[in-house]
Amino acid sequence: MLSETDDPLVNGKIPSTEGRDPAYFSYYAMLQHQVVFKHSRTQNMLQDTVRTSTYRSAILLNGPLCFHDKLVLDVGAGSGILSYFAVQAGAQKVYAVEASQMAEKMRKLVEAANTAESEALAKNAFLKDKIEVIQAKIEDPDLPIPKVDTIISEPIGVLLIHERMLESYLYARDTFLKPGGTLFPSTGSIFLAPFSDAALWSETMGKARFWEQPSFYGVDLSALYSDAKDEMFGMPVVGSFDPRTLIAQANPGGYVVDFYTVTLEELQDMTIPFIWQASYTGIVHGIAGWFDLHFSPPPSVPTGNTIAMSTGPAAERTHWQQVRFLLKEPLAVNAGQTIQGWMRCVVNEMRSYTIEAEIMVGEGQLTNPTIPLTSIYNLDFNRRRGKWRLHEQTYNYNYYPQSDNLFRPEYNCLYEPEHPLDTTVVVENNFVEDNQFII
């Protein structure tokens, strides 16, 4: 784990990803990571039908306006599937930029179309002379790429932002996109909601309690218990979960990241405010997160088709799934109470983000997200603060959707109010400038 002095939430540095790039690109150079093994439960890349079919629909349905006879740039092209879709949509030429050795495999496929003696003998004849494969990072200098009409990419990770590929997407936008050009995807929306899952929390706590043993083969491990608890609860839990474990619904529309306008600085340090109204009485064990993607032509193309995709717990599964951030100390809430807080996401050197969040039940003032975490916050009976590193993920694949007409909220230890709730909730960002009110 990072020490406090290395933590971007503390020292204000914007870390480089250079040290992590070789391993990152080697991973995506392997064919097995471009497809999915059906028996692994982990959907990935090409066989994620939601992901792949959504991209194809967005590209083909907007083909006449955004791709036909256009110059297209595919950033982080991987297997090249988005480039092939762009050609199917009528692109004049596609520049497919891929830093890993997967570029060689893509080039092999493209050259099979380019070098065939006749179109009848060619494999994927529609690709002939349409794609130029460039093995490089998009940030490398002097790439042979002109200004393009459209940029396509799949720069998305867990909670939208993991892996920091969005930074390369923005670089491509600022460097190669013509004014009024198209970005697919165009926006991403991050959704957060409180959840209750006693089994997951107890399982995580059990891992930490191993280090509480005073005599493990004669060795007292208890000096490491506090560190173990910080580590176990600092690991985001990736995996699908039952949407019926949500104590409140996410804020409508989510936290929108507009890829047409967002700046690099905004992407590298962002704070997401939230306010919810509890639908049930229960225990908040943490914050769940997911995202939606939208594919919308720019304002200069007013007649285009907007295509959307959700990775939420009630949507069809994707390889991104959802992520849950467990609190070290759960928080009790009554139906109808307001739950408010914020989540701050700051880039780190592991091609990911360090995340800190504050969650509070009832009335009160939220602290400023830039104030470092101290243990005093956990002494506040209605407030919790947590810290997680998005790259240190653990996985939970225990949920399988079932059609159960007999389900009741109390099966998940959630209790309905006796009387209907007033669902009017006012959103205010009431951060305070210091923590002097903590006594």
- Tell me the C-alpha to C-alpha distance, in Å, between residue 123 and each of 219, 342, 358: 65, 52, 55
Mean pLDDT of 104-127: 82
Query: pLDDT at position 209, please?
Result: 96
As a residue count, the chain comes to: 439
Instruction: Give the chain's mean pLDDT.
Output: 87
Query: pLDDT at position 379, please?
Result: 54
Are the C-beta atoms of 289 and 388 separated by less than 8 Å? no
Distance CA 94, CA 152 (A): 10
Distance CA 251, CA 14 (A): 29
Reported as a single tens digit per residue, the pLDDT across 303-360 is 899 999 999 999 999 999 999 999 999 999 999 999 999 999 999 999 999 999 999 9
3-state DSSP call for residue 42? coil
Token reading at 60? 């083909």
Query: pLDDT at position 11, please?
Result: 58
Catalytically active residues are: 48, 154, 163, 319
Taking alpha carbons only, the member of 107, 164, 79, 103 closest to residue 348 is: 164
End-to-end CA distance of the chain: 30
Q: Given a cut of 80, is residue 301 above it in pLDDT?
A: yes
Q: Given a cut of 70, is residue 374 above it in pLDDT?
A: no
Distance CA 327, CA 387 (A): 9
Q: Given a cut of 50, is residue 1 above it in pLDDT?
A: no
User: DSSP string of 366-427?
Assistant: EEPTTSPP-GGGGGSTTEEEEEEETTS-EE---------TT--GGGGT-B--SS--------
β pairing state of 352-361 and 383-389: antiparallel
Token reading at 423? 């669902």
Query: pLDDT at position 21, please?
Result: 66
Beta sheet of 71-75, edge-to-edge order:
131-134, 93-97, 71-75, 148-153, 177-184
Reported as a single tens digit per residue, the pLDDT across 348-361 is 999 999 999 999 99
Taking alpha carbons only, the member of 150, 111, 151 closest to residue 133 is: 111
Are the C-beta atoms of 259 and 169 separated by less than 8 Å? yes
Q: Given a cut of 60, is residue 425 above it in pLDDT?
A: no
Are the C-beta atoms of 289 and 159 separated by less than 8 Å? yes
Reported as a single tens digit per residue, the pLDDT across 155-191 is 999 999 999 999 999 999 999 999 999 999 999 999 9
State which H helix or E strand residue 132 sits in.
Answer: strand 131-134
- The reported pTM is 0.87
125-129's contacts with Cβ under 8 Å and 24+ in sequence apart are 126/87, 126/88, 127/84, 127/87
Are the C-beta atoms of 398 and 348 separated by less than 8 Å? no
Give one word for 234, left, alpha or beta, with left for phi > 0 and alpha for psi -120 to 50: alpha
134-137's contacts with Cβ under 8 Å and 24+ in sequence apart are 134/95, 134/96, 134/97, 134/98, 134/103, 135/98, 135/99, 135/101, 135/103, 135/104, 135/107, 136/97, 136/99, 137/21, 137/97, 137/99, 137/168
Comparing 54-58, 60-64, 79-83, 120-124, which segment has the lowest mean pLDDT? 120-124
Reported confidence tier of residue 41, pLDDT bands at 50, 70, 90: very low
Q: Given a cut of 50, is residue 29 above it in pLDDT?
A: no
